[in-house]
Amino acid sequence: MAFDNAAFKRHFPLFEHAENTRLVYLDNAATTQRPSCVIEALTDFYSRYNANTHRSSHRLARAATAMVERVRQATAEFVNASDRDEIIFTRGATEALNLLAQSLARTLEPGDQVLLSAAEHHANLVPWQMAAEQFGLELCFLPDHNGEPQLERLPEFLNGRLRVVALSAASNALGFRIPVERVKNLLPECCRLVVDASQILAHQRVDVQAMGCDFLVGSAHKFYGPTGVGLLYGRREALSALPPWQGGGEMIRQVRLQSSDYAEAPHRFEAGTSALAAIAGLGAALEFLEGQDRKAMATYESHLNRYLHTELEALCLKRPLQLLTRFENNVGIAALVPSPQCKLAASDIADWLDEHDIAVRVGHHCAQPLMESLGQSGSLRISLAAYNNREDVDRLLQALSVMPLDEDVESAAPSTVEGWVGDDLSALSLQELSSQSSWQKRYRQLTRWATQLSRKPAIRVPEHQVHGCESEVWLVHRVEADRHRFAIDTDSRVIQGLSILVLLLIDNRTRRDIEALDLEATFAELGLEKYLSPSRSNGFRALLDQALALVRASSRD
C-alpha cells in the first residue's frame, strides 16, 4: 500500500491554522510537529486523572500509574525490548546520555577508555568529557572520512582498556546513517555499546535486540511526541550493574539517615516526579506511529529525500551554493553552505527563507567538531518528515533560485589602522530603510548597507566575539568625551546591514541619548522586530544586548 502523505498531514493541527497555511516546515531534525492525538493525550491527563504515580492510594493515582506502566510497555514493544522494566523515562535523550555517562563512569577504573566519533551531537560528547575529567577516563575517537566514522577501524581500539562505545545511529548535522548493528559483535564482553537513536526513530523501526546494543536513547519530540520526555532502553543485565545517577523520591527502597537502599530498575533511575502528561503524550505518539504503514512511510520519505538532493545538486550548479550531504544512506537531512564566491552567509540564506515562510535551521547543529572537520563553521540544514511533500521542496528551491546570492557589490576596504576605527556612515540615513515598501526591498536595502561595514581583522579575537549568534560577530566599544563609539565586524550580510542600522542609532551618542531610544519600537516600525527575538539563527538580540551592556558597564567605571 502506498503512503498517503495528504492524509498523514491532516493529523497535524499546526498546519491548519490560518497563519500556517503557507508554512513549509523543514526543521524536523530539531523537532517534529505533533498530531492531534498527542495534544489530546496531554489535555486528557490534566483534565481527567492528574496525580502522582505509584505511592498514592486514590483512584487518580492508580489511573496515572497504570498509564505510565502501559506506556512503558508500549515503549518496550516500540524498540523490541525484552521487558518493560528495561525502559526508563527521562526528560529527553540529553538527560539519558548524562545518566549513562555518570552511571557507567562510576563502574570504570581510571585509564579506562570511551570510544566516540567526531560526528556526535554535543549531548553524546560533553557528558563523556565531564565524566572523563571527573573519573580519570580517556576519550578516543574513531577516524572519519568526510565526517563519517570508519567502523572498520574499530578493531584498532580493542586494546584491553576499551569499556564503552557511544555512537549516534545517524548524524543530526549531515543525516548519514551509521551501521551500529555491526559494532557489538566486534566488542569484548566487558565493553558496553550506547546508541543515540534520536535521528532514526521517526524514520525506521528500531530493534534493540537485533542491534545488539546495551543502551539506546531517544527523544519523543523527534518522532511526533511531546517535548520533555525521552526513553532510555537498557538491557536488563547492563542496567542492574549501574548505580543510580540522581537521588530523591521514587528511586529508593528504604532511606536511613546515613544510607539508603535503592529500588530495582527502572525506578532506580527515575528520581522525583516524572513528566507524567508528556509520558501520556509519548504513549499517544507510539500508538499513532504503530498505526502507520512504517515500511511505506519510509519508502515515501526516501523518495522525497532523493528528489530533494537531486534538485539541490542541480541548483548548486547554477548558484553559489555547496551541498554537503548526499542522498544515499541518509535519514532525510540536506546541508547547504555558501560557496566561497557567495556574497552571503548561511544565516542570511535562512533569513531569506524565513521571509518566504520556509522554516529551516542554521548553525553548527550541536555538532561543532564535525563541522570544523569539514572546514565549516555551520550549515543551513533542511530536514524532512513524512508530512512534507514535493510542493514543499519546490517552494524551497524556488526561494533559493531567486535569492540575491551573487550580486556584484563592492565592500568597504578593510580597516588597516592599528587597533580599530569605526565606520563613516554619514552618507546613510534611516529614511532609506523606512521608505522601502516591502520586506524584499528592505532586505535588499540592508544588503546594500552591508557594503559600508568595513572588514576589521584587528577586532576578530575571542574577547570581542558576541556569544549567542550562530554567525560569527565581533563588537568593540570605547568612550570618547562622553560619547560611546562602536565597531562591528561579521561575515553575515544581513547582520552587517542590521549593524549599520544599530550604529546609526547608538554610535557616537551619549548614554542619556542611548537610554532615551526605544529600539524595540524603531525595529517594529521598520518591520524588523523579529531580529530582536532571542534566536541564535540571527543572534542580533545578543549583539544589541552586548552593545547596551557595554554602555551601562562603562558608565559605572
Q: Which residues are catalytic?
A: 366
| Omega before 149 within 30 of 0, i.e. cis | no
Q: Which region, left, alpha or beta, applies to residue 176 given φ > 0 means left and ψ of -120 to 50 means alpha?
A: beta
Three-class secondary structure of residue 250 per DSSP: coil
Whole-angstrom distance, CA of residue 96 vs CA of residue 16: 34
- The dihedrals phi and psi of 237, each to the nearest 5 degrees, come to -65, -35
Three-class secondary structure of residue 54 per DSSP: coil
Whole-angstrom distance, CA of residue 254 vs CA of residue 259: 9
Based on its alpha-carbon atoms, the radius of gyration of the chain, rounded to whole angstroms, reads: 26
Q: Dihedral (C-alpha) 51, 52, 56, 58: value to the nearest 10 degrees? A: 10
* CA of residue 463 relative to chain centroid, distance: 26
Question: How does strand 230-234 pair with strand 215-219?
Answer: antiparallel
Three-class secondary structure of residue 288 per DSSP: helix
Query: Would you call 354 exposed, middle or buried from its count of C-beta atoms within 10 A (0-12, 13-18, 19+)?
Result: middle
Q: Which region, left, alpha or beta, applies to residue 217 given φ > 0 means left and ψ of -120 to 50 means alpha?
A: beta
Residue with cell 521487558: 83
Given a contact cutoff of 8 angstroms between Cβ atoms, the answer to whether 262 and 56 are in contact is no
H/E element, 218: strand 215-219
State the sign of the Cα–Cα–Cα–Cα dihedral 115, 119, 124, 129: positive
Which three three-digit cell numbers place residue 54?
Answer: 505509584
Which three-class secondary structure string do you get for 170-188?
A: ECCCCCEECCHHHCHHHCC
Question: In degrees, to the nearest 5, what angle opens at C-alpha 369 toward C-alphas 366 and 372?
Answer: 110
Whole-angstrom distance, CA of residue 224 vs CA of residue 94: 17
